[in-house]
Amino acid sequence: MDWNKTKTIFIIVFAILNVFLYSLYVNRYTEVKRIDVQGETKIEERLKMDGITYPKLPEIETASFASGEVWVFDPKEVKDAKGQTLRLTDDRGTIVGVPKEPVSIKGEDGKLDFGGLLDKYVKNGSDYKLWKADEKKREAVFFQTIDSLPFYFNQSSTLTVHWNEALEVTDYQQRMMDEIVLFNQEKDLFPPIQAINALYSRGYLKTDSTITKVEMGYSPLVQLTKTQVFAPTWHIHVKLNDGTSEDFFVNAVDGKVLDKLPEQIIEEDG
């Protein structure tokens, strides 16, 4: 038997086989890629077909988890208060403030402006961001922020303001977190279009609705002995056909749609 010939035949046969297998692999790979592209287009197309529109989406790709400790107010702050009367709850976790002089929230063009209150009366007022102002109830809710990103519906970091008919603040209730830190490790985020898709595929998005806002914030994840841990969260604000609106929250790390967060309600826009 001529082993050299046999060896050559084997090499040629296996070379041909390798080329064949490689071409199969390339075909399969291309098909899979094509399916992905079609899938992505489909989300956008299906939204379009249902008349659901959305704004330009944020391009944040990574974010860290965050943690914070509930601030316990110092009774000395109550004693030393200037221009307002302060009262602490029993657990010293909430401070209630009543300005001594009228503090107007009347802004330009009939809009509400809380700048005066936040700057002069509320501890670390600039850290709070307006979530909702209900003019009928005369109540505004603010969420504490880190790097301008709010902690959604976290009861330990919410500010509630009330006012009277003359648009003057009657009182406010503040809870605050301290020692807020971002975890070292950044996580890849679930893209906002996928967060919208998570809502759409679960039937949360109604036909002809308009997504007016997609923004990043934090939602409570874990409660440790002293500290709360927060997960990066997409907040998606949707305006419905009938004038009402809804807010949805999607965990930005694993894409899980969060149950309604505490106190979350459907707002009446009109």
Partner 1 sequence: MRFSVLASGSTGNSIYIENDEHAFLVDAGLSTRKLEKLLGEVGRDMKALDGIFVTHEHSDHIRGLGVTARKYGVPIYANEKTWKAMDGLVGNVPAEQRFVFDMETVKTFGSFDVQSFAVSHDAADPMFYIFHENGRKLVLITDTGYVSDRMKGWIREADAYVFESNHDVSMLQMGRYPWNIKRRILSDVGHVSNEDAAVAMSEVVSEKETRIYLSHLSKDNNMKDLARLSVSQTLETCGIRVGEYVHLFDTDAEQPTELVPV
Long-range contacts of 142-149 (CB under 8 A, 24+ apart): 142/114, 142/118, 143/217, 144/176, 144/177, 145/217, 146/66, 146/68, 146/180, 146/182, 146/218, 147/182, 149/216, 149/217, 149/218
Contacting partner 1 within 177-196 (CB under 8 A): 183-185
Interface residue with partner 1, options 2, 3, 225, 270 (CB under 8 A): 225
Q: Quote the CA–CA distance of 216 and 62 in Å, as a whole number.
A: 11
Interface residue with partner 1, options 202, 223, 265, 268 (CB under 8 A): 223
The answer to whether 250 and 233 have CB atoms below 8 angstroms apart is yes
Contacting partner 1 within 247-266 (CB under 8 A): 254, 256
Per DSSP bridges, beta strands 158-163 and 139-146 are antiparallel
User: With binding defined as CB under 8 A, does residue 1 bind partner 1?
Assistant: no
- Closest CB to partner 1 among residues 239, 256: 256
- Closest CB to partner 1 among residues 157, 251: 251
- Closest CB to partner 1 among residues 4, 185: 185
- Closest CB to partner 1 among residues 47, 66: 66
Amino acid code (one letter) for 269: D
Q: Which two tokens stand for residue 155?
A: 């009861």
- Closest CB to partner 1 among residues 54, 234: 234
Candidates 107, 143, 105; CA nearest to 121 is 105
Size of the site for partner 1 (CB under 8 A): 15
Of 96-104, 209-217, 220-228, 242-250, which part binds partner 1 (CB under 8 A)?
A: 220-228
Question: Which chain residues interact with partner 1 by CB under 8 A?
Answer: 65, 67, 183-185, 221-227, 229, 254, 256
